[in-house]
Amino acid sequence: MDKIRLLDLDSTELKSFCDSMGLPKYRAGQIKDWLLKGRSFGEMTNLPAELRDRLSANAVTGIPAVADVLRSSVDETVKFLFELEGGVLVESVLMKYAYGYSVCISSQAGCKMGCRFCASAGVAFSRDLTGGELLGQIIAIERHENIKVSHVVIMGIGEPMDNYDNVVRFLKNVSSADGLNISLRKISLSTCGVVPGILRLKDEGLPVTLSVSLHNPFDDERGEIMPVNKIHGLDELFAACREYVNATGRRITFEYAVIEGQNDSKRHALKLAERVRGMLCHVNLIPVNKIDGGKYRRPSRETIESFQKTLESKGVAVTVRRELGRDINAACGQLRKRVIS
Ligand code: SF4
């Protein structure tokens, strides 16, 4: 029988687990404290040795093992390769900003969405991560770097909306006062445009920032690089986004990787402005680094500025990300790997 993963449990469930093992209530609090510090059962030194052995026999912590660490030579970005149970590997990235530490975590081992610009699409989907495995990535990084993470982006490998229940469980646990207590307002959830997930999330009462990877305002062109567009076209996607904003009052972020000759024309900017007109949102323009052997290139500074000005002239709030860490932030796991290596 599979062992229970303790980081998957909320506090009530952890108390029930301890109860089922015949332990006094205070043990649940002790175990939780250790779990949040990323400690193994063997390191839970205020528990009797016999109890630690019983825990090991019946459960796992859910803290992933650090398989590799890669530090950017350009900025303070650190990429982690984690090994989960069953030998599954996922990536997470730590980024340092003026406001604190932000971690980008993976939600699945592999991805089914098949975005053309993303090498994760070529990696076979292995499995969904559990809520505890999402949480464990943050805890393991905090322990490894001896820091406190203040912001989280679910933008690594995987499509969070394709692993909806586990992601929502994670959101509830990571933000709970007796958990890591990270404000939901400091958490961004990124989707490539899985509309049913957006519509479900709007009713959860979880004030996260929804981030949509857009990259093109035209259905035919977007469909060529993002197969999800053939299932949920842009009219449906933007209608769902408007519903999300109306229900939550939260501003949506549209991520737009600007690629030379592909989506950087005035025609694209005007169509994008038309799509977001009147919506509480902002657009992040991400000048891509050269990827896929030069197939996708960064436009000139003038082209990007012109794109930005066209959007602004139509009243759209726009930012341009220029730093490497931010480029990394905007991409998915395997793309990050290429950029940072
Ligand atoms: S960009 Fe994101 S959603 Fe698309 S294939 Fe890569 S990991 Fe999946």
Beta bridge partners of 83: 65, 89
**Distance, CA 180 to ligand 1 centroid (Å)?**
27
Question: According to the model, what pLDDT value does residue 169 have?
Answer: 97
> What is the per-residue pLDDT for 322?
59
Whole-number Å distance between alpha carbons of 287 and 303: 10
Is 13 catalytic? The answer is: no
Joined tokens for residue 128: 């969904």
**Which ligand 1 atom is nearest residue 111's CA?**
8
Amino acid at 43: E
Contact 153, 209 (CB under 8 A): no
Q: Which atom of ligand 1 is nearest to the CA of 155?
A: 2
Domains of the chain with bracketed CATH? 4-60 (1.10.150.530), 65-340 (3.20.20.70)
Ligand 1 site residues, Cβ closer than 6 angstroms: 111, 113-115, 118, 120-121, 157-159, 192, 332
Per-residue pLDDT at 334? 42
What is the C-alpha separation between 314 and 328, in angstroms, rounded? 28
Q: Which of 18, 91, 104, 255 is catalytic?
A: 91
With 0-12 / 13-18 / 19 or more C-beta atoms within 10 angstroms meaning exposed / middle / buried, residue 315 is: exposed
Q: Among residues 104, 115, 241, 332, which one is catalytic?
A: 332
**Which three-class secondary structure state does DSSP give residue 67?**
strand
**How far apart are alpha carbons 295 and 276 in whole angstroms?**
28
| pLDDT score at 302 | 95
Q: Residue 187: which residues within 8 A CB-CB, separation 6 or more?
A: 151, 152, 153, 154, 171, 174, 175, 208, 209
Residue ranges in the chain modelled with pLDDT below 70: 1, 119-123, 289-294, 322-341
Atom of ligand 1 nearest to the CA of 157: 7
Pick from 93, 108, 113 the residue to mutate for probing ligand 1's pocket: most ligand atoms within 8 Å of its CB.
113
Active site residue 332: yes
| Distances from the Cα of 85 to the Cα of 60, 118, 141, 160, 297, angstroms | 9, 25, 17, 20, 38
Structure-token pair, residue 83? 């090994």
Residue nearest to atom 3 of ligand 1 (CA): 159
Closest-CA residue, ligand 1 atom 6, reads: 118
Neighbouring CB atoms inside 10 A of 48's CB total 10
Q: Residue 292's pLDDT is what?
A: 58
